[in-house]
């Protein structure tokens, strides 16, 4: 399975991204070098790379998501793309606070620790729907690892489209998110323009 192994802080610096959006409290001491002014294409590419990096997607699945967003009838393509990315199971686990970072949430899902409506799902890119109940498996609920994770993520705000029950390590997708509820610093319009060339 292909993975992005680049150092997170270094990548954040090159994309001009605050590590907080990756679930990391550290700050890089180095400053990003002020290079040449980006061209229009360079700016669009940077926004796409930012979205792919934040959600941990590679090019092919990202492009598939974009094509799915184009086919959706309601809303704009850019907003639909961000909503599709936000509804990934690994992202929802991270948003509920059951993973310190999206990478950790992805690993938790891959290790069959998460159920959706009572069924074990080990596909990080699985799309959740409104009304889905996401939970940590019974075997994981007594695991010290999850107690430690919840302790660390307890202060994190759970988005209003989700409902978390940290006591029982479960969560519910109340509604589908709107673009306004997604706090990711990505200009999706640039991504749409890049793909529509």
Which of 62-71, 147-156, 170-179 has the weakest average pLDDT? 147-156
Q: Do residues 133 and 161 share a domain?
A: yes
Q: Do residues 18 and 69 share a domain?
A: yes
User: Does the residue 133 lie in any domain?
Assistant: yes
pTM of the model: 0.89
Give the CB-side neighbour count of residue 84, counting CA atoms within 13 A: 24
Q: Do residues 172 and 190 share a domain?
A: no
Instruction: Name the average pLDDT for the chain.
Output: 88
Q: Do residues 56 and 24 share a domain?
A: yes
**pLDDT classification of 106: cutoffs 50, 70, 90:** very high
State yes or no: pLDDT of 42 exceeds 80: yes
The pLDDT value recorded for residue 79 is 95
User: Which residues are CB-neighbours of 50 under 8 A, at least 6 positions away?
Assistant: 15, 17, 185, 186
Which of 56-70, 84-98, 117-131, 140-154 has the weakest average pLDDT? 140-154
Please check whether residue 98 is in contact with residue 169, taking contact to mean a CB–CB distance below 8 angstroms: yes
The pLDDT value recorded for residue 29 is 60
At which residue do the structure tokens 């938790």 appear? 108
State yes or no: pLDDT of 32 exceeds 60: no
Range of the domain at 111: 97-176
Q: How far apart are CA 118 and CA 114, in angstroms?
A: 9
The pLDDT value recorded for residue 143 is 82
- What integer is the mean pLDDT of 88-100? 94
State yes or no: pLDDT of 50 exceeds 60: yes
Answer with the residue of higher pLDDT: 195 or 1.
195
The pLDDT value recorded for residue 153 is 84
Q: Do residues 76 and 136 share a domain?
A: no
User: Does the residue 46 lie in any domain?
Assistant: yes
Q: Do residues 108 and 168 share a domain?
A: yes
Query: How many structural domains is the chain composed of?
Result: 2
């Amino acid at each position: 399975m292909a993975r992005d192994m680049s150092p997170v802080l270094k990548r954040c610096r090159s994309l001009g991204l605050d590590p907080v959006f990756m679930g990391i409290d550290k700050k890089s001491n180095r400053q990003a070098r002020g290079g040449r002014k980006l061209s229009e294409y360079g700016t669009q590419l940077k926004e796409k790379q930012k979205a792919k990096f934040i959600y941990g997607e590679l090019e092919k699945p990202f492009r598939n998501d974009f094509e799915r967003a184009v086919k959706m009838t309601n809303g704009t393509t850019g907003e639909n793309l961000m909503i599709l990315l936000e509804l990934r199971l690994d992202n929802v686990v991270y948003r509920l606070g059951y993973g310190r970072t999206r990478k950790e949430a992805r690993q938790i899902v891959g290790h069959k620790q998460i159920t959706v409506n009572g069924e074990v799902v080990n596909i990080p890119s699985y799309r959740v729907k409104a009304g889905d109940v996401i939970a940590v498996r019974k075997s994981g609920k007594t695991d010290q690892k999850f107690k430690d994770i919840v302790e660390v993520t307890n202060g994190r705000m759970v988005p209003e489209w989700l409902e978390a029950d940290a006591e029982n390590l479960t969560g519910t997708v109340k509604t589908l998110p709107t673009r306004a509820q997604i706090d990711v610093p990505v200009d999706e319009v640039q991504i749409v323009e890049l793909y529509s060339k």
